[in-house]
Amino acid sequence: MKTAMTPAQRLDKLTQNVAIVGFCGLVVMALLITWDGMARYLGAPRISGFADYGEVVFPLVIASCFPAGLLRQTNVTVRVIGTAAGGRVNAALEFFGALVTLVFFGLLIWQFILLAGQYQSGGRTTRTIGLLLAPWWYVTIAVISLCLPVQMFVTWSWLRALIRGDQPAHGDLNHDDLLDAKAV
């Protein structure tokens, strides 16, 4: 019998799917880069305005990876003091770090909204093929905005762990889960 997924597992599944879509975009860009490079040396037709595609696709690809990384806390972190002190001191430091990260992403998204607004009001386009940048940045903002509820969950999990003295709700997620999910 299948057990019900925890909120952390449901959120993990969502963020992993978003990251996979972003990874697919990265693969498509890699194939296009390969074609463009080979075409240069083989005398074949190159992709017109290729840099323009990267200008709109790469922010989306990058933004799609952040939610999964935040939930699994795979970002670069130095945990010497928390590991040495253990227990509630570790939870307090993790909570503080999660709170700072939440504020950072809130400010980052706010700046992206301002940037997209400037692109919109200025009618900014890519240089060669004239793609409007604002719509692409609005999609990027929607994707990276997933970071806020994810990081709120992580922050709440660490606060709860600090108060209760137990593990955070997302603490049971590990990289073996990814392998199991792909095998099914």
Lowest mean pLDDT among 117-121, 148-152, 169-173: 169-173
| Residue 146 reports pLDDT greater than 90 | yes
State how far the Cα of 42 lies from the Cα of 35, in Å rounded to an integer: 10
184 — pLDDT class (breaks 50, 70, 90): very low
Which of the four pLDDT bands, split at 50, 70 and 90, describes residue 180? low
Q: What is the mean pLDDT of the chain?
A: 89
Q: Give residue limits of the domains in the chain.
A: 7-168
**What is the reported pLDDT for 174?**
66
DSSP calls for the chain? -PPPPPHHHHHHHHHHHHHHHHHHHHHHHHHHHHHHHHHHHHTPPPPTTHHHHHHHHHHHHHHHHHHHHHHHT-S----HHHHHH-HHHHHHHHHHHHHHHHHHHHHHHHHHHHHHHHHHHHT-B-SSS--BHHHHHHHHHHHHTTHHHHHHHHHHHHHHHHHHTS--TTTT--HHHHHHHHH-
Residue 16 scores a pLDDT above 80? yes
Helix (H, G, I), strand (E, B) or coil at 39: helix
Tens digits of per-residue pLDDT, 107-143?
999 999 999 999 999 999 999 999 999 999 999 999 9
pTM above 0.75, yes or no: yes
